[in-house]
Amino acid sequence: MSERDRVRWEERYQSRAAPSVADVRIPAVFTAYQDIFPTEGRVLDLACGPGLASVWLARRGMEVWGVDVSPTAIDHARDLAARSGVGDRCRFDVVDLDSGLPAGPPADVVVCHRFRDRRLDQPITERLAPRGLLAISALSVVGADPGPFRVAPGELTTAFAQLDVIASGEGDGEAWLLARKP
């Protein structure tokens, strides 16, 4: 990630209050499918921000590893996990995903909410354990103006075509996909 982008994300999280335990939730686009998410196994949460989804998954019983480029976001995530009583099931690290996915074991769930780096598509698929769940969302041009971080129509389903799609959607400037590895 460029230094400018890194600073922008750090400033964004520094300007926000740490989330409260009441804020813990799965990203809204996946709420209708929350029962699909497992209650045991490993999670890799990419660009986890302050850890809202990570802590939600840990509360379900999963072992979570969240990564983000912002040290402040990671501090917030660690604190949120501790205050939520799941600090022992969560690990959070500062990672620049421009260097690729950090090495680690297969994941039963990979969450990637509102972050998109096409170079990670294949590594994400490879990191998923057999029958592993991918929950990915990104800003989209569908229902919004074009922008440098917005996906094209159908981009997520095309990028992850080797997975079995459970559900997907596009609209109001967001695209999302839930899919399983065969």
Per-residue pLDDT at 5: 76
Q: How many CB atoms lie within 10 A of CB 89?
A: 19
Report all structural domains of the chain as residue ranges with CATH numbers, in order of start.
3-181 (3.40.50.150)
Distance CA 143, CA 159 (A): 20
Per-residue pLDDT at 1: 60
> In terms of DSSP bridges, do strands 107-113 and 42-46 run parallel, antiparallel, or are they unpaired?
parallel
The pTM (predicted TM-score) of the whole model is 0.94
Task: Residue count of the chain, please give it.
Answer: 182
- Read off the pLDDT of residues 149-178 as tens digits, 9 standing for 90 and up: 788 999 999 999 999 999 999 999 999 999
The string of DSSP codes covering 27-72 is -GGGGGGGGGS-SSSEEEEET-TTSHHHHHHHHTT-EEEEEES-HH
Partnered with residue 68 across adjacent β-strands are 94
Q: Assess contact for 170 and 125: CB atoms under 8 A.
A: no
Enumerate residue ranges in the chain where pLDDT < 50: none
Per-residue pLDDT at 11: 87
Per-residue pLDDT at 129: 98
Q: Assess contact for 182 and 130: CB atoms under 8 A.
A: yes
Per-residue pLDDT at 29: 95
Per-residue pLDDT at 179: 98
- Position of tokens 């440098």? 148
